[in-house]
A and B are shown apart, each in its own frame.
Chain A
Amino acid sequence: MQMNELRIRAGQATASGHRVDLLPGVLWFILADIIVFFMIFADFMMRRAGQLAVFDQSAATLNVPLGVLNTLILMTSGLFVVFAVNAAKAGDRGTTRRWLLLSFVVGAGFAVTKGLEYSSKLGQGITMYTNDFYMYYFTLTGAHFLHFIGGMVTLAVLWFLVGRQQINGRLLNVIEAGALYWHMVDLLWIFLFPMLYLLGAR
């Protein structure tokens, strides 16, 4: 398949010479990754249908306000990454770094909240072996958390890179690719949160 066919306009605008455009590769990765999550969504919902009472009672023990807070954290951090990309497109390194840093700091709140949630559950003796609901809860949020860690590392690396060099077409492409990945972390949570926390409401 021709790379050109895959290249999205954002990549084309920044393409110069024969350098490799990272965006198609990142989009392929994201698509493959979220399709795996889609299959687990379906698996969760089918398992739920067989154990409705267990799933709904267990879901009712989750902390909805913390889940809402985590949603707001990821969306806000995502907004700051959009600002960072726009600053990078304008060639403004200082502003790009500031938004990347803010995105990282706000995003770090997700780890704090998730840590509180996990420790609360584990403190009550609830683990992934408690029942099928918690197995999915810990597996899905745990897999998502690993993606989150990857995103935080990406933001830190971008912040470091922008501090070291001028923003050229190559670096902008790297920033856009990292930003796409960070938005995926947000995107997955947008489905995970209502499916795990809110569907059991009666």
Chain B
Amino acid sequence: MTHTSSRLATMVWLFLVLATLGSSWLAGHHSFAGEWTAVFVMLVAYAKARAIMLYFMDLRAAELPWRLSFEAWGLASAAVIIALWLQAANA
């Protein structure tokens, strides 16, 4: 069985922290990435959610149907938020 070692989990945590601080900073400095800021922030959120599912929840070691179900949820959540944000921004 593969499971997330404490060392790997710490690396994932470091990514989560840096991604959180980076994307929140970007959201507060909107001129930096312009109208794509919100899209970028949500893509970072998706990457973070995926990291938590695969490593903290160990779903990369789960049987495929479980992994696919959770992956589909993450993808759908990010896609719906981004698509409706873009639609509202361009309306």
Which residues in A have some Cβ–Cβ distance to B below 8 Å? Answer: 5-10, 12-13, 27, 31, 34-35, 38, 41-42, 45-46, 48-49, 52, 64, 67-68, 71-72, 75-76, 78-79, 81-83, 86, 89, 180, 183-184, 186-187, 190-191, 193-195, 197-199, 201-202
Contacts and interface: CB of A to CB of B under 8 A. Distances in A.
Name the prevailing secondary structure of the A interface residues: helix
B80 A41 contact: yes
A183 B61 contact: no
Interface residues of B, number: 51
Contact of B27 (A10, A52, A198): A198
B87 A194 contact: no
Given A9-B61, A68-B20, A186-B52, A201 B37 contact: yes
Given A10-B58, A190-B45, A42 B37 contact: no
A194 B27 contact: yes
A45 B1 CA distance: 40
A81 B6 CA distance: 10
A97 B63 CA distance: 29
B30 A78 contact: no
Closest 9 pairs between A and B when the two form their complex, measured CB to CB: A45-B84, A8-B62, A49-B88, A198-B27, A82-B9, A13-B1, A79-B13, A201-B27, A75-B16
